Amino acid sequence: MSDRASLTLISLQFFLSLACSLSFNLTQFDPRATEMVYQGDAAAANGAIEINCVDYRVPHPSQLSRRFPWPFQYHDGHSIVMVEFDTFPDKEWDPSTQHIGININSISSAAYAIWDASSLSGKWANVRIVYNSITKSLSVFWKYDENSSFTGETSLTHSVDLARILPEWAVVGFSAATGDSPEHHTVSSWDFISTLDNKKSDEKHHGLSRVLTIVIVLSLFLLLIVVSLTWWFARKWKDQRWAEEGRHRRGGRDINAGLYIEKGTLPRRFTYQELRAATNRFSNDRRLGQGGSGHVYKGSLSRQSSKTVVAVKRIFAQFENSEKIFINEVKIISRLVHRNLVKFIGWCHERGEFLLVYEYLPNGSLDNFLFGNKGTLDWEVRYRIVLGLVSALHYLHEDAGQCVLHRDIKAANVLLDTDFSTKLGDFGVAKLVDPLLRSQKTGVVGTLGYLAPEYLNEGRASKESDMFSFGVVALEIACGRRTYEDGEFSVSLVRWVWQLFVGGAIIQAADEKLEERFEEKEMECLLIVGLWCTNPNKRERPKAGEVIKVLKNEAPLPELPRNMHDQDFY
- Residues at the binding site are 313
Cα 234 from Cα 87, distance rounded (Å) = 10
- The residues with which 315 forms a beta bridge, in sequence order, are 294, 354
Q: What does DSSP assign to residue 299?
A: E
CB atoms within 10 A of CB 118: 16
End-to-end CA distance of the chain: 64
β-strands 109-114, 99-104 pairing: antiparallel
Sign of the C-alpha dihedral computed for residues 7, 9, 11 and 16 taken in this order: positive
Annotated binding site for ATP: 313
Phi/psi for 515 (5° steps) reads 50, 40
Neighbours of 487 (CB within 10 A): 7
Quickly count helices (H) and strands (E) in the chain. Answer: 12, 30
SS3 letters for 345-357?
EEEEEECCEEEEE
To the query of whether residue 466 is one of the catalytic residues in this protein, the response is no
Q: Catalytic: which of 367, 408, 426, 466?
A: 408
* Phi, psi at 140, each rounded to 5°: -125, 130
Measured over the CA atoms of residue 43, residue 46, residue 51 and residue 52, the dihedral's sign is: negative
Whose CA is closest to 183, among 257, 90, 117, 100?
117
**Residue from 364, 342, 348 nearest 298 by CA:** 364
Question: Which parts of 1-98 are beta strand (E)?
Answer: 16-17, 22-26, 36-39, 43-45, 48-50, 62-66, 81-86
d(CA 408, CA 468): 11
- Is the Cβ–Cβ distance between 454 and 460 less than 8 Å? yes
Residues annotated catalytic, as ranges:
408
